[in-house]
Chain A
Amino acid sequence: MKNTFTFKELFSEFDDDIISVPEDTVFGDTDISTDAVKNAVLLRSGCRKKRHKGIRMILIAAAIIVISGVCSTMILADTDIRIAFEEFFGGNMNSAGLYDGGNVTVRTDDPNLDISFLGLTGDEHEMYAVIRASKKDGGTFTDEGYLYPYMTSDWKAMREYMLSLNGKTDTTPDELQSAMASFCGIEAVCTDRYGSNFGYENEGDAMIDAKYYLSDDRKQIKILIHLDIDNASGTKHLDARDGTLTVKSACFTAQKIVNTFFTDELSDEVSTGTAWNRFEKLFTGSQESVENMSVIYTPQRAIFCQTDKKEYALPFELTFTMNYRYNACIRRTLKQIDSPHYINENVPDAQMTVSPFSIRFDGETDHTDISQCFEDVDIDNSYVLMKDGTKYCFRDWGCCGGGGPASGKIESHSRLTYTLKPHSGLEEETILIDTREIAQITINGDIVYKA
């Protein structure tokens, strides 16, 4: 059989060396913006360099304390919600589950501290809150130099940390409390209405993630607090619906860079840990250096350095009632027949809770021949449709749960957060939506909610 090729086709197969001509004489007078092309390409390819990225790091020290830094941005899908927050959070409220403290109080014992609550959103499982503080005498929160360099004006955080046991199983509550106290000064105390302390050994715990934003003049500080009431380490789900949750802070730590090892552009390389590999090679055999390593994030890069740390007092207490029913939370009980492609057989009732930033499904069955109550979410066939026609996709955080033949029941809990497009990367912004404007929710092709 004969093949026919044009000259142009054949020339395209030539090696680069044979086609060498002065390239500026090839390009002609095209006035194309390389940056515009690059930005469009990276966005479409899913390669866009992520801002405010963080990595989970393990500092290898004698006590094997797990320290991680998490940085995330949230974008608000509704203009009303968006204006409710100053920068990330702060400002006025609306009734879509974002409130100014009807069931939230913040207080301080420091007479020189002016502290105010800016905003909060959440459900009984998760909460984001922002508070702002300044000194009545106009003083600064830190000494000069105790902040890290920043590249843009919208990020002035000095450090970030997550208190987490994710992946860590041999840290005792005492060790964790000690770590919490030494690194951030925040204690998490869960109490029910009767004053009982939940703690770690009882029903579960609260994971706290807080980020500080220090102003240029170091006179104002904002704190974004994220509380995850579900225990990420997989112990019992905390039933805190009728209790209160109090977050207390005594101080925070500020850093001054004294020695920079290297910097890395924030990219997937950092998030996948290859930068960590580089760090490990630098410090092989140097336990002391490893223990003193810090990573400071700016919007563009991660700075691997040694820092001098100082503690500064910032005492406050944030309390909110867990039994608050948010206007924005849509709750439904679903039968298997309501969503045959998502809810497994023999699951009599599944609870669906739709909040401004996630949809949760909870199920239970006494049929232990199934491993989970829910099927995998088909991202391409699952979405939220708003009344104005906007469509949001999901990021599936997986299904966790427990049980089995021994207990005689299977429990499953799944969570979906909203994304602008399907199959978004983990570093994509978190979306908040106004649940009042939801028209329809579809999971695996099944319509599970219609306004």
Chain B
Amino acid sequence: MSEDQIIVRLKNKDIKAFEETIKKYTPLAAGIVQNVSRGSLSKEDIEETVADVFVTLWKNTDRIIAGKLKGYICCIAKTKALTKISSVKRNIEADIDDYDPEDDFSVSSECEKKELVQCLREIISGISMPEKEIVIRYYYYCQSITQIGRVMQINPETVKTKLRRTREKIRSKLSERGYEI
């Protein structure tokens, strides 16, 4: 089944499409949960959280937008991971090497989120590799700097530097378009 077909069938509560979705995206959802939790959740907790993700997806198939199934699953996974961490009262033990003082910097705007996302998307599209990949791994897949460095075979300090510089570029371009950082 193509992605488009899966989405249509999910909206029609097709169980086969749902099973295929689970099979395809379990590793991704598990990766996101593990990344967000920074290893503070046990395997059983992760499995349970991943199951929560797909149960939530099934209940909200009407919210799936064409072309954004993966993103939606990742979004649910991040939320569920944080909820799980909170429920098991675990503290995320972050490696000092992963510490990023600007991890949660935010953008303020009087515009709707949709417009802001579109703007950010255009900016990101214009960023060259490997900086683009670094920022996506960090903000979308919630990978730590250490993980990114290992996967991309880049020194973690270099990852930090590239991340900071890319963020500055994004901040500058957003400011040009009237957004406050």
Q: Which residues of A contact B (CB under 8 A)?
A: 1-19, 21, 23, 25-28, 30-34, 36-38, 40-42, 44-45, 47, 49, 265, 267-269
Residues of B within 8 A of A10 (CB): 107, 113, 116-117, 120
B64-80 Cβ-contact flags toward A at 8 Å (1 or 0): 00011111001100100
* CB <8 Å contact, B22 and A12: no
Q: How large is the interface on B (under 10, 10 to 19, 20 to 34, 35 or more residues)?
A: 35 or more
* CB <8 Å contact, B109 and A3: yes
* CB <8 Å contact, B22 and A37: yes
Residues of A within 8 A of B15 (CB): 42, 47, 49, 267-269
CB distance from B58 to the nearest CB of A (A): 5
* CB <8 Å contact, A36 and B47: yes
CB distance from A35 to the nearest CB of B (A): 9
Alpha-carbon distance A27/B152, docked complex (angstroms): 14
Residues of A within 8 A of B147 (CB): 28
Alpha-carbon distance A3/B48, docked complex (angstroms): 33
* CB <8 Å contact, B47 and A3: no
Q: B110 at the A/B interface (Cβ < 8 Å)? A: yes
Alpha-carbon distance A25/B19, docked complex (angstroms): 23
Q: B96 at the A/B interface (Cβ < 8 Å)? A: no
Q: Which residues of B contact A (CB under 8 A)?
A: 3, 14-16, 18-19, 22-23, 26-28, 30-32, 34-35, 43, 46-48, 50-51, 54-55, 58-59, 67-71, 74-75, 78, 104-114, 116-117, 120-121, 124-125, 133, 136-137, 139-143, 147, 151-152, 180
* CB <8 Å contact, A23 and B125: no
* CB <8 Å contact, A41 and B67: no
Indicate whether A45 sits within 8 Å of B75 (C-beta atoms), given known contacts A3-B110, A19-B70, A34-B23: no
Partner of A41 from the list B22, B70, B75, B143 (CB cut-off 8 Å) is B22
Alpha-carbon distance A38/B3, docked complex (angstroms): 19
Alpha-carbon distance A19/B125, docked complex (angstroms): 10
Residues of A within 8 A of B106 (CB): 4-7
* CB <8 Å contact, A27 and B31: yes
Alpha-carbon distance A23/B50, docked complex (angstroms): 17
Residues of A within 8 A of B34 (CB): 28, 30
Residues of A within 8 A of B51 (CB): 37, 40-41, 44
